Amino acid sequence: MPALGNPAHPYPAHPRILALDVGSRRIGVAVSDPLGITAQGLDTIQRQNKRRDLAALAAVLKQYEVKEIVVGLPLRLSGEEGTQSEKMRSFAAEIKSYFKLPVHLWDERWTSTEANRLLRETDLSIKKRGQAVDRMAAILILQSWMQARHGAAILDAGTPWSGKPG
């Protein structure tokens, strides 16, 4: 079977996108699949210090050849920004400068709630659910960002796709 990105292959590889759900102790991480359709969770980064956090992110960026980063922006339920939003804006600016990649902020108000709800429906223990919630939140951030971007691309192109050829 031809490799993705090969001109003979009907589905060329898309630039990979990384999503981060940044907390004070952990960073949930997700990456887009090679076709740019789905978000896949990666190992959660246990935060230690700035140098080690950046080194861990650098390893993921290199391994998956990431070209863009999406960082969850914690907003209040009203949609207003607070102290945590300011911290994420600062973090996003820092990784943009450090890695020289585009960084997008994305509303993450409901991702942890939705991640907890989805994980409660599994057979995971409470301890394992707690470890998985950051990864699931990153998946939800990336999936919603990609869906919104795809919708914007369809609108930018004119008529939305009807599901029918030509």
Determine the pLDDT at residue 122.
75
pLDDT digits (tens, 9 = 90+) for 28-73: 999 999 998 999 999 999 999 999 999 999 999 999 999 999 999 9
DSSP class of 2:
P
More confident residue, 30 or 12: 30
Residue type at 78 in one-letter notation: S
Tokens describing residue 30: 């997700």
Confidence band for 152, pLDDT divided at 50, 70 and 90: low
Domains located in the chain, CATH noted: 16-146 (3.30.420.140)
Worst-scoring range by mean pLDDT, 114-123, 132-141, 148-157?
A: 148-157
- pTM, full prediction: 0.78
Question: Sign of dihedral through CA atoms 50, 146, 156, 79?
Answer: negative
In three-state secondary structure terms, 71 is strand
Determine the pLDDT at residue 60.
98
Mean confidence (pLDDT) of the chain: 82
The candidate with the shortest Cα–Cα distance to 27, out of 83, 92, 118, is: 92
Query: What's the start-to-end Cα distance of the chain, in Å?
Result: 28
Q: Which residues contact 79 (CB under 8 A, 6 or more apart)?
A: 109
